[in-house]
Amino acid sequence: MPHFLDISKVGITFKPGAPAVLVDVNLTVNRGEYIAIIGHSGCGKSTLLNIVAGLTTATTGGVLLDGREVDSPGPDRAVVFQNHSLLPWLTCRENIRLAVDQVFDGKQAPRKSRAERAEWVDENLELVRMSAHADKRPAEISGGMKQRIGIARALAMQPKVLLLDEPFGALDALTRAHLQDQVMEIHHRLGMTVLMITHDVDEAVLLSDRIVMMTNGPMATIGEIATVDLPRPRDRLALVENTNFIAARQKVMEFLYARHRNPAQAA
């Protein structure tokens, strides 16, 4: 049986003659799975996400999603960008509305009427608990709120796989924890498939079913995949003493800091 998301033999070279950034990346993901991709800066993890998104084209290999080859960006692979990428001239609601109007036009996804689209936007605002700030512009809300709108915009496209590119990277620790809990809760409710880039070990272990560890670039590839064997829903406080949590955490730490130290820091 073919996998839901199948990344096979993906490699990419940006300049001819230069060493490849990614080589021979193979990964299969099941429907509803939460995958974290972790690695040091410059290991090409964002490039891998962009290839799945279709924003970057792989030099070799390819990506299959639900039996279809990925050849261009599309709402079935909605991206939450690290820098939120909200359009500053639109309010939060309008930002989501723009995506919803565009996607549910009857060509990309079944057509929704005006009223249905408005309702769907409100539903997604409620999902990330941003209804109260819906009519503010991005400049008027905090970084964490912007990221929540980014997530709502992505979820509103009803993607087959949600791509998160270091979504909490620019946030302070408390806001980050709060958002992680929210994403966990939404994942629990909707059961969507997620591919998340991160460089935070705790975040990877807390949120994901499997952690994909990348070796250092150039010529980066998947070094190891760890399965996180923890029941859901997960509670960050209860996990602190959980042996499976500690074991998974140690495994990733050991990979990142003992066997594949950041070349920039080692020097």
Partner 1 sequence: MSATVQQARTTMPPKLPNPVSLLTIVGQRAWTALRNAAPLLVMLVIIFAVWQIAAGGAKSSLPPPSTIWKQSHDLILHPFYDHGGLDKGLGLHLIASLKRVAVGFSLAAVAGVLLGMLVGTSMVAMRGLDPIFQVLRTVPPLAWLPLSLAAFREAQPSAIFVIFITAIWPVIINTAVGVRNVPQDYRNVARVIRLRGPAYFAKIVLPSAAPYIFTGLRIGIGLSWLAIVAAEMLIGGVGIGFFIWDAWNSSNISDIIVALIYVGVVGFFLDRLVMMAGNFVTRGTSA
Residues that bind partner 1 (CB under 8 A): 53-55, 72-75, 77-79, 81, 83, 85, 87-89, 98-99, 102-103, 108, 129, 132, 137-139, 157
User: Of 158 and 216, which CB lies nearer to partner 1 in the complex structure?
Assistant: 158
- Residue in 256, 192, 195, 266 with CA at minimum distance from that of residue 224: 256
Shortest CB 117 distance to partner 1, Å: 13
Q: What does DSSP say about strands 222-227 and 68-69: parallel, antiparallel, or unpaired?
A: unpaired
Shortest CB 44 distance to partner 1, Å: 18
Shortest CB 14 distance to partner 1, Å: 15
User: Of 86 and 207, which CB lies nearer to partner 1 in the complex structure?
Assistant: 86
Shortest CB 19 distance to partner 1, Å: 24
User: Of 89 and 257, which CB lies nearer to partner 1 in the complex structure?
Assistant: 89
User: Of 96 and 222, which CB lies nearer to partner 1 in the complex structure?
Assistant: 96
Shortest CB 73 distance to partner 1, Å: 4
Give the burial string for 196-216 (b: 16+ CB within 10 Å, else e): bbbbbbbbbbbbbbbbbbbbb
Q: What does DSSP say about strands 193-198 and 34-38: parallel, antiparallel, or unpaired?
A: parallel
Shortest CB 36 distance to partner 1, Å: 21
Give 83's contacts (C-beta < 8 A, 6+ positions apart). 170
Give 80's contacts (C-beta < 8 A, 6+ positions apart). 147, 150, 151, 153, 154, 162, 163, 164, 165, 167
Find tokens 């941003």 and name the residue. 130
User: Of 132 and 258, which CB lies nearer to partner 1 in the complex structure?
Assistant: 132
User: Of 193 and 221, which CB lies nearer to partner 1 in the complex structure?
Assistant: 193
